[in-house]
Amino acid sequence: MNEENYILFDQYLQEELSNSEKINFEKELTDNPELAAAFAAFKEANEQLEVKFGFETERNAFIDNLKAISKEQLPAPKAKVVQFKPWMYMAAASVALLFGIFVFNSNSNPSFDDYNQYENAYFTERGDAVANVKLAETAFNDKKYQEAIPLLEALLKDNKTAELQYYYGVALLETNKTKEAEAVFNELQSGNSIYKNKAIWSLALAKLKQKEYKACKEILLTIPADYENYDQVQKLLKDLD
């Protein structure tokens, strides 16, 4: 992630972008999962400073320390590049470094990336749709979720099965289309298919991704003990305590 991206992140959070720049940036976040993840980390780091440092003196001392570290971690910026603001040094030093140099211990919340492991898709092949089924299956299993979405949408138009819905919801969630994913999972959880409990688990993960920890825990508590991955449910509940 280059310096210009951090500058853009900061400008967006400080509401310094024009309307058109803001729209373009938000579209890029939707289309680029890697950029979206970096922005989420940057935003979280900003929020952590606001929460953890109640006095300006301590906060400034922390930023000065982070600046010194970031100079060792990053190449010197080119003359034409806008000078980093304190917030940018924080993100550029990386989230791992940020939390590693906190001068006190705090309880860390679990991460979505710790739990978003999915079983491979093996869709049932039907008639003329065999080729499209294989394309969707391969795209999903290769974690090319952006490619998988239109393929799954086409298959769902002809055959709306719980299986296809579930994997479609996962692909939406992985590409930060969280609200659309939740709508899919809510429909599945209201049914009686074998994907019902998987959908409830995925709804919990959607809340985890949005850092809605209380809502995540409430959903987890509705998952029955006979769910095939109940050990993961218990682990996440423990991590949320």
Cβ burial, residue 25 (10 Å; 0-12/13-18/19+): middle
Question: What does the block give as tokens for 104?
Answer: 């006190």
Q: 30-34, 50-54, 93-97, 101-105: which has the minimum mean pLDDT?
A: 101-105
Domains of the chain: 3-100 (no CATH), 112-240 (1.25.40.10)
- Predicted model pTM: 0.57
Segment 20-36, tens digit of pLDDT: 889 998 998 898 888 88
Query: How far, in Å, CA of 234 to CA of 224, rounded?
Result: 11
The conformational region for residue 211 under phi > 0 = left, psi -120 to 50 = alpha, else beta, is left
Cβ partners under 8 Å of residue 137, min gap 6: 121, 122, 123
State the pLDDT confidence band at 156, using cuts at 50, 70 and 90. very high
pLDDT band at 93 (very low <50, low <70, confident <90, very high): low
pLDDT tens profile 174-214? 999 999 999 999 999 999 999 999 999 999 999 999 999 99
